[in-house]
Amino acid sequence: MENRAPSVDQIPDYIEIGFAKIEADLRFLMSCLGEVLTGLGHAEMAQSLPWSDHELDENKVPARVGQAYSIAFQLLNMVEEAAAAEMRYLRETSEGLTAERGLWGEWLGKAKAAGLPDAEVAALAARVRVEPVLTAHPTEAKRLAVLEQHRALYSLIAHRERHVRTPSQEDALRREVKASLERLWRTGEILVTKPKVADERRNMMHYLREVFPAALPVLDDRFRRAWELSGFDPSYVEDPAYYPRVRFGTWVGGDRDGHPFVTAEVTAETLEKLRLNALIVLHRELTTLAEKMTLSDWMQPLPPQLQKSYDRLIGVLGDRAPQMVAAHADEPWRQFVLMLIACLPMEMAPDQTAVVHEVPGTFQSPEELRAELTLLHRSLDEVGAVRLAESDVLPVSRALDVFGFHLATLDIRQNSAFHDRALSQLMQAAGLDGEDFENWTEVERLRFLERELQSPRPFLHAGAEIGPEADAVLSCYRVIARHIERYGHDAIGSFIVSMTRRLSDLLVVYVLAREAGLTVRFNDGLACHIQVVPLFETLDDLTRSPGILRGFLEHPVTRSSLRVQGGKDTPPIQQVMLGYSDSNKDSGILASQWALHRVQAELAAVGQESGVELRFFHGRGGTVSRGAGPTNRFLEALPHGSLSGDIRLTEQGETIAQKFGNLETAIYNLELLVAGVTTTTAIHQLQEETPHRLEEIVDDLAAASAQAYRGLLQAEGFMEFFREATPIDALEMSRIGSRPSRRTGQNSLSDLRAIPWVFSWNQARFYVPGWFGIGSALRDLERQRPEDFRALREGIRAWPFLHYVLTNVEASIASSDLELMEKYARLVENSEVRHRVFGLMMSEWESTREGLERLRGKAMSERRPRMLRTLKLRSDALHLLHLQQIGLLQKWRALRKSGDEPGAEKMLPDLLLSINAIASGLRTTG
């Protein structure tokens, strides 16, 4: 494929083509679903389906319409994904690799046009390290069995586009689709019981074992092709050392912040399953390789080095070796790979289930297998089979590099207050006065911790039981210590301290790690095997974070630990995690995003001053108010100098299925991320940093928006309004995640997690966290400083940060619905509270909409027709569901108020089904 630019009149109208495809696929699927429902005796339900030939009637809504609509919306989501993939394919086919914004073709094409030397671009790409981290935050409202059916249906939709050509093929596909839809209907959409951590782990493991290993070779191939087609020297991409590195992480089974069910046993089990599934991936890769290694020894004898290893493996395998040799006589290359498979520390049972099976002779580490694969690659080169070495062996080596024997790193996260209680219990058990440790001043805390960190001895013997928090922390840390002793560090991520508010919050973890045997003592002091990572979340904590990080990086234990963790030849790297949710909940979207932007630049400067490279870990959620947004736009908006090519990002809840639920979409999103990180890193390194002329204006805007937002939160009756105008009470009874919705169980806004906070506002179509405060700030700026408002209007598109944030705010305004907001507000029984709080919201909503239009110079309908068309496609069906949900909430709350708990419990599945259906329609929860 060439990089070619067609003339304007030759470029197809991809938007129209895409929407035509969506409408055609949707009609096909709705007709299939209607036939299924009719056949099951639900003709009335079939008549009420959206996007069919029937008119929707709000007064004739069947009882279980939520389930039908949830399925219908999921089908719409699938056809939209399939259409997007097809449009990318058409655009790349007709216009070349550079046509799709944000991917390798565009970035490498620009780098070549700018005259960047091949070696410099290759070195830059080689420095890139990207790590998506899959979390189990409770924003995935669908059952695991339902997700599996969705994957099957997407495959059928994609198959229809590419392979169905005859009437008989269409009939066969229709039968398959209808069978899958009936299976989906009979499965049921909602979670009747809360999922266990094991359920969330099984879902996460699907992506790590099935999706990402399949995406990796395609990702590599697209990088190579874009490199060569852009005119760069192909020799640089012959060596995978020049490829950007992709790694994967997870929190499932390690994130215990407010999660009592993530025990030490769960963490140990998770590490075992990660190891087993990594071996399954390698077993599959090597089995495919063995099928390809059919080279006969009479055409090319084994080179001496490979022969030596071949003979050694025969000796190691003993009685098992003759069977492998006899089964493939005259094919020693295949025999060699089969022996590598036999040396994996796992065993496949007759029923094809796998178990870890570590016996003498099996590989103890991925380095041992890597050495054998390197030898195999080199031997193929020696006999002239260079193409086979590259096409067959290299993908296996790459899979080993990425997934190792551990599949993904497991982070351990806990709240700083929990650590304080754990240390307090330790101190008391050791006879020290630590009962009130968490209330000590920072000076007192640091004095005590410094004294302890100079001592090598633990407080107590390993078997002592101390207290619930101390036992929980230390039992988890001991699991980590045992795993490292047995297998090494590959599977272990970081100890993340959520709600880091002071330096002592981080040093406490060193003392706890010492107690569990996770530290080592050198002549110059203590060092910790595992990196301790601050997580700065609230606005106040973000403001204090540069000072906290400076103290932490200058601490002797941190300096020693970074040396131990990084090795001799690598610069020290400290990870810093930024939370996007709580700062937004505290202060609104603009103040939150601006604080994060400002503080990243300050933290990067602290790292530079300390001689430490920072790896920022962005804790982004699935909604705009929790840090979500287009990946390439997010990366472009990062402050200059904050990205050195090394980054971690969370993928949370329903966004995992949306981004990685099928192979095509997974490849696209991974390429968008890796190419985007490379591009942004290049900009940060090759361009001079200059202060932006609008920074002072945005300072004032952020402060004004935060003041307006907090004014809403502090308004009399606000919490009463929130709890009655949104389905938060139903959400708190839902079963969408294994973790409680509150950190400690207190009924306060501060204790409520950001996820249900956002989820409930979205369900009621307010989207408050995504826009409130912006309108007041813009209105005051325009009235009081019109010249600054004009400067803002003229400079918005040239500043990626501001363009990104306000574009996301605009999306939140577009997704909200005034008519529905008003209907939900009527659920608030106190009319005075209702009028006062809703009046504030209505006024701010209108100010925000008008302010954005004046700032942009055009109405949203003129500038973003595609987004509005997408929203319009869903609006009528969603409207009906919202009206149904409001009615259900009224009846359910009335039953609870009257004391009829059995009646309320009986209604709950229908209410949860409506929540699930609306979440499917909005494509977002929290």
Q: Report how far residue 85's alpha carbon sits from residue 664's, in angstroms, rounded to the nearest whole number.
A: 7
β-strand partners of 576: 616
pLDDT for position 414: 97
Tell whether the torsion through CA atoms of 231, 233, 235 and 236 is positive or negative: negative
**How many other CB atoms are found less than 10 A from the CB of residue 149?**
19
Give catalytic status of residue 585 as yes or no: yes
Report the C-alpha gap between 912 and 917 in whole angstroms: 9
Can you give the pLDDT at residue 194? Answer: 67
> Which residues of the chain have a pLDDT value below 50?
1-2, 8, 138-141, 737-739, 741-743, 926
Query: According to the model, what pLDDT value does residue 424 have?
Result: 96
**How far is it, in rounded angstroms, from Cα 549 to Cα 532?**
11
540-551 pLDDT per residue, tens = 999 999 999 999
d(CA 11, CA 13): 7
The residues near 354 (Cβ < 8 Å, ≥ 6 apart) are 276, 279, 280, 283, 346, 347, 348
Q: How many CA atoms lie within 13 A of 748 on its CB side?
A: 7
Measure the CA–CA gap between 249 and 491, rounded to whole angstroms.
Answer: 9
**DSSP character at residue 40:** T
Q: Spot the catalytic one: 137, 206, 377, 419.
A: 137
pTM: 0.93
Residues, the chain, total? Answer: 926
865 contacts: CB under 8 Å, gap ≥ 6: none
CB 394 within 8 A of CB 240: yes
Tokens of residue 271, six digits: 């590490």
**Whether 259 is catalytic:** no
* Amino acid making up residue 756: P
Q: What angle do CA 372, 378, 381 make, to 5 degrees?
A: 145
Burial class (CB in 10 A: 0-12, 13-18, 19+), 543: middle
Which one is catalytic: 377, 483, 555, 585?
585
**Predicted pLDDT of residue 742:** 47
Q: Which two tokens stand for residue 411?
A: 């982070």
Dist. CA 340–CA 600, nearest whole Å: 46
Closest by CA to 702, choosing from 792, 628, 619, is 792
